[in-house]
Amino acid sequence: MSVLQGIVRFASRNPGSTAQILFSAVLACATIAYTFGVFRQVSEMRTDRLTRNKPLVTPTIDTKYAVNHFFAIENTGEGVAYDVEAEWWCDEGDKQTWKIPLLSPGERRTFPLPFGGEDGTITTSGQIEDAAGRDAVIEFRVRYSDSLGNRYTPEKNSDEATASIGVLDTIQTREDAEEYVDESPVKAIADEMEEVTKRLERIERSIEMEYLEGNAKQEIRDRLTELVREEGVLTFGELVDSLSLDKTVVAGMVYELRGSGQVDFDETDGFPFKDSDVEIEYVDNG
């Protein structure tokens, strides 16, 4: 007698057991379907959370007034990048390094090209070709963290932390694209106005402290307090250089710390921090 025949005979003799078996089978299938659905939903939520909190720090070439070109670093991701440490160089030239506690989504910082000297005198396509050749390439490496504590490094995340830019090729590709879209001079003016608008928006983000996430803002405030405490007295310019932040942001934090009695400075008419030599003194409340 086959196994199938045995099952049929058992079902005909035990109708109650058959119903129980069917119920158990249906319950098992429903449990499996529910478990799979929950797993898929959790996976989608985890992926969405990672995407919303993931920064992406990338290099680019920033063009001003259609002819002047600069090296730029931008956060093109959706999350804040913390503890950013970047370095870049051209061929065998000296490495340029830069650090910043955080880089907000859409925020861009501009620097002289690495073969143009610190004064940034080499900016046009002709000057770039004379200084570094037609095939000048900028190598870029960066380390940074997201708000979930994930650390991105060239060793572990080559796609997110390394890049190479062919300077003149990038410039030419951009110019060709702009010419293809619209050859009118009005288009160039509109592009510059758009860039000015973006810059104003970035400044506004720096001024509006709510754009700095709570933990990052507190971390920077603690760092500022520690710098002044260690030195006793620091100028406003020294604080700005040490923190690598916008002057307005640093000024706002200094005002907050003075309000809480942690630092002090001489008040003057108007905005006191127009002068970088204004001294900020640590107040020992112990």
DSSP track, 55-87: --EEEEEEEETTTEEEEEEEE-SSS-EEEEEEE
Q: What is the C-alpha separation between 98 and 48, in angstroms, rounded?
A: 31
What is this structure's pTM?
0.48
Q: What is the C-alpha separation between 57 and 85, in angstroms, rounded?
A: 10
Q: What is the C-alpha separation between 102 and 214, in angstroms, rounded?
A: 12
Q: Which residue has the higher pLDDT, 75 or 185?
A: 75
pLDDT band, very low/low/confident/very high, at 257 (cuts 50, 70, 90):
confident
Task: State pLDDT tens for residues 38-86.
Answer: 667 666 666 565 667 889 999 999 988 778 888 999 999 988 999 999 9
Q: What is the C-alpha separation between 239 and 221, in angstroms, rounded?
A: 11
What pLDDT was estimated at residue 250? 85
What the block records as the tokens of 24 is: 């158990």
β-bridge pairing 57-64 and 151-152:
unpaired
8 Å CB contact between 115 and 88: no
Sign of CA dihedral 240, 242, 243, 245: positive
| Pick from 11-15, 33-37, 130-134, 257-261: least confident | 11-15
List Cβ neighbours of 6 (8 Å cut-off, separation of 6 or more). Answer: none
Please check the confidence at residue 18 and state whether its pLDDT lies above 60. Answer: no
Please check the confidence at residue 31 and state whether its pLDDT lies above 60. Answer: yes
What pLDDT was estimated at residue 125? 83
Q: What is the C-alpha separation between 171 and 134, in angstroms, rounded?
A: 12
The average pLDDT across 135-164 equals: 91
